[in-house]
Amino acid sequence: MIEPKDIDYQHPSLKDQVRFFLGTLLLVSLICFGYWFGFPKYWLGWLSFAIAAFSVAGNDAVQTVGTFIESKKSVHWFQKLTVLGSLLVIVHLFAWISDHGEIHFQRLENIPETQNFNLIQLLAPVILVVITRLRAPVSTTFLVLGLFGGQTIEKMLTKSFFGYGLAFLIAIFVWAILAKLDPHEYNEEHVPEPKAELKWSRLQWLSTMYLWIAWLLQDTANIAVFLPRKLSALEFVSAITVILLALLVIFRTNGGTIQEVVSEKSDIKWSKAATIVDLVYGSILFLFQYMSSVPMSTTWVFLGLLAGREIILNVLTYRDLPYLDTFRKVAKDVFLATLGLLISLFIFYLSSVLYPDSQSAHSAFFPRSEGYQLSPERK
């Protein structure tokens, strides 16, 4: 019998791929059947929430716990789940109590609650599952939340691209200073001393926890949008249980196929480098958390940070490897993220055409003809 640790989750076999896509087809059929035959939208929302929990957490695992998974492969999955799972419960419990039953951390304040989902909104998490399987670091905010955002999507795009640029500049500034302070580490084939690596390995636990909280504050809204705004105690426990199961799958599969996005960037495999990336990235997310309640793409912020880091280190060290090589890989990630953005906008447009009365159509991107009247607000 093959142990889970011996399974190569980053490179699934043909049989595994067939099983995956058959399962995906089953989910699509189930959602379509329920939608067309009048299954209660409340339960369809919960089904899409469950799928979204696995797909959003799976896709964004690259930017949150990807470096952690890569450098902590020797640590048992249960330890990782216990630490980050406990944080997940504490953070959401605090939000549920302080915000009177809401767990979206004010990210959905400008997005009307949807009680009658359209089919594309319900299928969006399944589309994300497929994109994640194909190793594309797509923005879950654009693909999922954009369908509910209406007029907010323009603000999402502006904030996300601004986040990319700001993260890019901050990375250049931070790693320019680090490269000057410790040129030995960045100018040579540096292998850290065991004692130093152990110290930074311990600090990485703290930096990952810090980043994990920052990410939850930003991206929980991407899956909570399928739930009632105010959750009862039973609904809250059910939602957290589903998210914990998604986190369990991530750790048991070592990040899944999309983890290759991190694994191929060998220059951040050491704990010190990963810890600094986590701290800087987490700080940027916290900054945006308090700047505006408009949702944003954390994926674009992460890619901007990595791009700025690799460019400045290549310039200052005059080394093609590993920094220029990693920059090429980051550029590939940006291309895939851009492709994902275009797909998201196409789905957004398709939703606005097929369901003109839904919130997804209320956008300046695709203006309505004069005289178009919005449907009355649903109770």
Q: Kindly tell me if the per-residue pLDDT of 224 is higher than 60.
A: yes
10 Å CB burial of residue 82 (0-12, 13-18, 19+) is exposed
Which amino acid, 194? P
Domains of the chain, by residue range, sit at 4-361
Tokens of 320: 């093609």
Instruction: Give me the torsion for CA of 119, 120, 123, 129, rounded to 10°.
Output: 180
Of 129, 154, 80, nearest to 367 (Cα)?
Answer: 154
10 Å CB burial of residue 143 (0-12, 13-18, 19+) is buried
Q: What pLDDT sits at residue 314?
A: 79
Q: Report percent pLDDT > 70 for the chain.
A: 80
In angstroms, what CA-CA distances link 63 with 162, 214, 220, 364? 18, 12, 14, 31
pTM score, whole prediction: 0.82
Coil, strand or helix: which one is 370? coil
Residue written as tokens 């790693």? 175
Residue written as tokens 């793409």? 297
Tens digit of pLDDT for each residue in 129-154?
888 777 666 777 888 888 886 667 78
Residues sharing a CB contact under 8 Å with residue 222, sequence separation 6 or more, in sequence order = 52, 56, 140, 141, 144, 145, 295
Q: Kindly tell me if the per-residue pLDDT of 261 is higher than 60.
A: no
Binned at pLDDT 50, 70 and 90, residue 345 comes out as: confident
Mean pLDDT of 349-364: 66
Q: What pLDDT sits at residue 375?
A: 41
Task: Assess contact for 280 and 171: CB atoms under 8 A.
Answer: yes
Mean pLDDT of 69-83: 81
Coil, strand or helix: which one is 331? helix
Q: What pLDDT sits at residue 260?
A: 59
CA angle 203–205–206, rounded 5-degree value: 70
Q: Kindly tell me if the per-residue pLDDT of 213 is higher than 80.
A: yes
Q: Kindly tell me if the per-residue pLDDT of 204 is higher than 50.
A: yes
Tokens of 321: 């490897």
Tokens of 22: 């058959």
Q: What pLDDT sits at residue 370?
A: 39
Binned at pLDDT 50, 70 and 90, residue 379 comes out as: very low
Of the given ranges (113-117, 221-225, 330-334), which has the lowest mean pLDDT? Answer: 330-334
Q: Kindly tell me if the per-residue pLDDT of 311 is higher than 60.
A: yes
Q: What pLDDT sits at residue 259?
A: 53
Which amino acid, 1? M
Tens digit of pLDDT for each residue in 2-60?
444 455 566 667 887 888 889 899 999 999 999 999 899 899 999 999 999 988 777 77
Radius of gyration, CA atoms only, the chain: 21
**How long a stretch of residues is the chain?**
379
Q: What pLDDT sits at residue 268?
A: 65
Q: What pLDDT sits at residue 240?
A: 96
CA distance 292 to 77: 35
Of 344, 142, 116, 102, nearest to 224 (Cα)?
Answer: 102
Q: What pLDDT sits at residue 333?
A: 73
DSSP E strand boundaries for the chain: none
Of 175, 365, 146, 129, nearest to 280 (Cα)?
Answer: 175
Binned at pLDDT 50, 70 and 90, residue 353 comes out as: confident
Of 216, 192, 214, 217, nearest to 305 (Cα)?
Answer: 214
Mean pLDDT of 323-348: 77
State the SS3 of 126-191.
HHHHHHHHCCCCCCHHHHHHHHHHCCHHHHHHHHHHHHHHHHHHHHHHHHHHHHHHCHHHHHCCCC
Q: Kindly tell me if the per-residue pLDDT of 182 is higher than 60.
A: yes
Q: What pLDDT sits at residue 237?
A: 97
The chain-wide mean pLDDT, for the chain, equals 81
Mean pLDDT of 350-370: 58
Q: Between 13 and 368, where is the model more confident?
A: 13
Binned at pLDDT 50, 70 and 90, residue 349 comes out as: confident
